Chains A and B, each alone.
Chain A
């Protein structure tokens, strides 16, 4: 369970280009559902996802994950929580060029000290499940948009996280691939994972996979509604 209490994030505080991305957001995300964050670009969705996913620290306010107040934890514990709890799918995918699909998928597991063959087996299993078994050795810059995204999904799953966070996942995909993506999300939700997806694409937030929609504008939560399910 993820709880945000009056969280604010200000960039470049004190400088001429000071910018408040998130203002006083209070939000609770219960487990095993799919929450969609909607709103125009610049509304603070990406920043909020970064805060939830322990990739940035709030300027003020508290973030609690499974009972632990993580907003005041030192950096090294933050990373461990991030690794254990969250799997991130970035808008730009952020895969490492020059590495193969399988290598990219295995990367988050390197520092855990798990033996190579276990990690490799798990990576192959994930790639197989997402239909990429044939492309495991291919360098990621040679993959198509949809394939790249599925590699990003596989990478997010390698450490078996409880929460999947996706930032504008369908931004570079056509309708067919977008629907494929939501089907994969359905499967993940069915496994009992919590999903948080930021998107302004109606295909996403109107999908029946989503059970809660949170609207944002100018860094604030404007509306909340229970979605189709």
Chain B
């Protein structure tokens, strides 16, 4: 081992001893600072998870969806419109879709009903998402009670577990046959919820959307890629608002940590003077303080981040998830898949370590460059 690495090892050994000697102060800083990191990390991780969830859900949707508007509200589309749309150049196919929201009579939650190619054959059968079944304590063969259009209850037998792509689907999806769908929603024959369009060339999407508006003036084409951008911006905005709301307590905590870190106590200043007097150079003292600061802020970062990841596993109301979801809390509770972006973690790391390093090293540098004689007398 070289002399250089020995020097680092010795200084690290001294740092460990020094941290232990002032353990009360250091533990306090780690806890407080770690809490600040935890708060920020929770918001950042949950935002990232939700954004991934939204994008993942959108991948299963068609490139363009066409909805009919009636009196400014979402109305039903006539299946006859399919012909008009397939005539548009660039549209590969147009399919009518049957889906609707259903308010669960037992819990008031918003569930999704779908009737499509994957639906069970029987008129009184339903295949539901795994999370939904788990929350109701239902298994295959159990009976799910829903409310029909006319108000009287409709019992459906669980025939299987629906294949789901996202946690939200798993918690809210119900697949039923066409007949059951119409009984539950009262949708008349010849009508569909919306039309799903598949296009040949993604770059033609805006042109095709324009042609759709011309062919069906009262219809609203929804482009999937635009939705992805909308979600990115709304989640960015929401997480920013949450952090802004938490800013005052976060700043209070940061001030506390700063106060403990910056400005050496007379004891510490004297110690630096002694080290200089017995032969430590300024660079040795700075290295010492750097290691100290990195140790403390790294501990805070790890603590805060681990707690934030653990908190993601908590039930919904205990996290900031409701603030990020907005009205989506009307859905059954679901846990978005944990997404830890490298970008987010790195940003948090630098946010944690860098300010603390600066707050510790600068006063130390000033003490270390003063003549040790003065420092020891003071």
A interface residues, Cβ below 8 angstroms from B = 47, 50, 55-57, 75-76, 79-80, 82-83, 88, 90, 92, 94-99, 103, 107-108, 110-116, 155, 159
Asked if A98 meets B21 with Cβ closer than 8 Å, knowing A110-B7, A110-B14, the reply is: yes
The answer to whether B371 has its CB under 8 Å from any CB of chain A is yes
**Contact: A90 with B6, CB < 8 Å?**
no
Asked if A115 meets B281 with Cβ closer than 8 Å, knowing A90-B376, A94-B376, A110-B14, the reply is: no
Q: How far is the CA of A76 from the CA of B282 in the complex (A)?
A: 7
**Contact: A56 with B279, CB < 8 Å?**
no
**Contact: A113 with B6, CB < 8 Å?**
yes
The answer to whether B369 has its CB under 8 Å from any CB of chain A is yes
Residue of B with least CB distance to A114: B6
B interface residues, Cβ below 8 angstroms from A = 1-7, 9-11, 13-14, 17, 21, 271, 274-284, 369, 371-374, 376
Q: Which of B13, B21, B279, B369 has the most CB of A within 10 A?
A: B279
In the assembled complex, how far is the CB of residue B298 from the closest CB belonging to chain A, in whole angstroms? 22
In the assembled complex, how far is the CB of residue B274 from the closest CB belonging to chain A, in whole angstroms? 5
Contact of A107 among B21, B278, B372, B376 (CB under 8 A): B278
**Contact: B283 with A76, CB < 8 Å?**
yes
Tell me the dominant secondary structure on chain B's binding face. helix
Ranked 8 nearest A-B pairs via Cβ: A113-B3, A83-B279, A110-B10, A98-B21, A56-B373, A108-B278, A113-B7, A79-B281
Residues of chain A with a CB closer than 8 A to B281's CB:
75-76, 79-80, 111
- Please, could you name 27 A-B residue pairs with CB atoms under 8 Å apart, sorted by A? A50-B371, A50-B373, A55-B372, A55-B373, A56-B371, A79-B281, A83-B279, A88-B277, A90-B376, A94-B274, A94-B277, A95-B274, A96-B271, A97-B21, A103-B17, A107-B278, A110-B7, A110-B14, A111-B280, A111-B284, A112-B3, A113-B2, A113-B5, A113-B6, A116-B9, A116-B10, A159-B279
In the assembled complex, how far is the CB of residue A25 from the closest CB belonging to chain B, in whole angstroms? 16
Q: How far is the CA of A74 from the CA of B9 in the complex (A)?
A: 27
Q: Which of B21, B278, B280, B373 has the most CB of A within 10 A?
A: B278
Q: Which of B21, B281, B284 has the most CB of A within 10 A?
A: B281
Asked if A112 meets B7 with Cβ closer than 8 Å, knowing A57-B371, A98-B17, the reply is: yes
Contact of A114 among B3, B283, B373 (CB under 8 A): B3
Residues of chain A with a CB closer than 8 A to B21's CB:
97-98
Residues of chain B with a CB closer than 8 A to A96's CB:
271, 274
Q: How far is the CA of A153 from the CA of B376 in the complex (A)?
A: 18
* Given A96-B271, A111-B279, A113-B3, 17 more pairs with CB closer than 8 A: A47-B373, A56-B371, A56-B373, A56-B374, A75-B369, A80-B281, A83-B278, A83-B279, A90-B277, A90-B376, A108-B280, A111-B10, A113-B2, A113-B6, A113-B10, A115-B1, A159-B279
Contact of B278 among A47, A80, A88, A114 (CB under 8 A): A88
Residues of chain A with a CB closer than 8 A to B275's CB:
107
Residues of chain B with a CB closer than 8 A to A112's CB:
3, 7
Residues of chain A with a CB closer than 8 A to B369's CB:
75
Residue of B with least CB distance to A55: B373
Q: How far is the CA of A80 from the CA of B6 in the complex (A)?
A: 17
